[in-house]
Amino acid sequence: MNSPIPDVIVIGGGLSGLSTAADLASRGLSVFVLERHQHLGGRAYSFIDESMGEEIDNGQHLMMGCYHETRWLLRTIGSDHLATLQPNLHIDFRHPEFGATSLHCPPLPVPFHLLAGLLSLKTLSLPDRLKLLRVGLEIHKSPETIEPSIAALTVHQWLDSLGQSEANKKHLWDIIAVGSLNGAPKDVSAVLFYRVLRAAFLGGRENSSFLIPRVGLSRLFDEPIRRYVESKRGDVLRGCAVDTLISEGSRVKAVRCSDGVNREAAAFVSAVPWYALSSLLPPNEPAMRAADHMTASGILSINLWFDAPVMDEDFVALLDSTVQWVFNRSKIQGASASSGQCLALTVSGANRLIDKEASELVALAVEDLRRVFPRVGTARVVRSIVLKEKRATFSQRPDVEPLRPPCITSMENLFLAGDWTNTGYPATIEGAVMSGRKAAAAASAFLQSGK
């Protein structure tokens, strides 16, 4: 970096902070990222498992074609070739009793691709499939018409009001809601779910396709972003926490860091999660109200290595099971499946399970797999890793949504980023990147105003 005092200091090197930095760097501004941990990526990172010598994610992440801000980021840092967009939405489902089915949206114009996909869902009766169209009609109505009337509702309350049967909920809507909102559909916000469905199923056909990372998260995002930022007028310092902000009047002057150095900048972006904010902001800062009200929702990731291949698909959703998604890591990452197979299993909204012993969780997971993949009965699990992210996201309840803070704060030159801020989107990669770009735009406008 050329200037000793950067234009912007970004506190936190998760995806929101790194996106802030990439956006600012792309505008020609100088930026300095300070990250508490030795690894970048926050809640989306990889590490090397010494025993298998493989790169493992802290949890399998799935993205979608409608992640437009994330796709901008991937293009900007030169990583877009490391994630594959499905040509058309295709989800394989497995049910222990009803067997295999899939949601396949054929290459028809929007919304006929979705209509055809929904009507082909074999685990639902024809009357139930027709009821799905009621939700399809509802998402075509404008946010101004719909959102005020469902603001206080949970996903299940909204789906009930649209006459959805128990089977429709269990065999389709719940798996989408739990995966996108990381919580039980009886608890999480209907407004956020409505926005997820609109983002995925309106607009271009590719919006509803899955975007699947072919490499670990750190190779996809964290390291390429660091290299991009450092190739511009930026710097990234790991292992350095910001302990406090030093203010002067209505501005932040500097940050006091864990290495004992005070660092100054013209503007600052806090990109720390809601639970890490209290050490940085005064209690009377409006954003603290949201942070104090938020609770955490956990995600469990169970990685299993089998001594022989047990599944053929890239990934499947399990119905009526504890595990919701199974990813064929060996296939997705292009490893040879001849000797064995590594599967990454996900349980979102996992607070009730997260304190169980790893051995119990592995047993639960293997039993779920055995019920739908007969080859699990004869294959042997040769290694397992259970990863528990207790604070994977904030719990996205309807009462929390109106409290999510904007990126501006009461300090003129301090801006907020993070998946928990008011992006209008769930706490996801896309939400994090959106928030980072919003904060970068706000910081850049502040600098240009010459205040």
Ligand X SMILES: Cc1cc2nc3c(=O)[nH]c(=O)nc-3n(C[C@H](O)[C@H](O)[C@H](O)COP(=O)(O)OP(=O)(O)OC[C@H]3O[C@@H](n4cnc5c(N)ncnc54)[C@H](O)[C@@H]3O)c2cc1C
Q: Which residues bind ligand X (CB under 6 A)?
A: 11-17, 34-37, 42-44, 58-59, 61-63, 241-242, 271-273, 276, 299, 301, 389, 392-393, 418-419, 427-432
> Least Å distance between CB 44 and ligand X?
4
Which is nearer to ligand X, 279 or 339 (by Cβ)?
279
In the block, tokens 């910081």 appear at 443
Which is nearer to ligand X, 11 or 215 (by Cβ)?
11
SS3 content of the chain, % helix, strand, coil (to 5): 35, 25, 40
Which is nearer to ligand X, 258 or 378 (by Cβ)?
258
Which is nearer to ligand X, 138 or 389 (by Cβ)?
389
> Least Å distance between CB 425 and ligand X?
9
DSSP 80-95: GGGEEE-SS-EEEEEE
> Least Å distance between CB 42 and ligand X?
2
Cα separation, 267 vs 242, whole angstroms: 15
The β-bridge partners of 102 are: 92
- Per DSSP, the three-state class of 212 is strand
Q: Which residue is nearest to ligand X (CB)?
A: 14
> Least Å distance between CB 225 and ligand X?
11
Cα separation, 118 vs 294, whole angstroms: 35
> Least Å distance between CB 241 and ligand X?
4
Which is nearer to ligand X, 62 or 381 (by Cβ)?
62
CA distances from 325 to 59, 141, 208, 329 (A): 11, 30, 17, 12
Cα separation, 365 vs 383, whole angstroms: 13
Which is nearer to ligand X, 267 or 427 (by Cβ)?
427
Cβ proximity of 215 and 82 under 8 Å: yes
How is residue 171 annotated by DSSP? Answer: I
> Least Å distance between CB 132 and ligand X?
23
How is residue 374 annotated by DSSP? Answer: G
Burial of 343 per CB tally in 10 Å (0-12, 13-18, 19+)? buried
Phi, psi of 129 (to 5 degrees): -60, -40
Which is nearer to ligand X, 11 or 197 (by Cβ)?
11
Query: Where do runs of H (alpha helix) occur along 334-428?
Result: 358-372
Cβ proximity of 207 and 1 under 8 Å: no
Which is nearer to ligand X, 168 or 393 (by Cβ)?
393
Phi, psi of 270 (to 5 degrees): -90, 120
> Least Å distance between CB 63 and ligand X?
6
Which is nearer to ligand X, 37 or 219 (by Cβ)?
37
> Least Å distance between CB 242 and ligand X?
4
Which is nearer to ligand X, 123 or 348 (by Cβ)?
348
> Least Å distance between CB 424 and ligand X?
14
Contacts of 298 (CB under 8 A, 6+ apart): 349, 350, 351, 354, 388, 389, 390, 391, 392
> Least Å distance between CB 96 and ligand X?
24
Burial of 202 per CB tally in 10 Å (0-12, 13-18, 19+)? middle
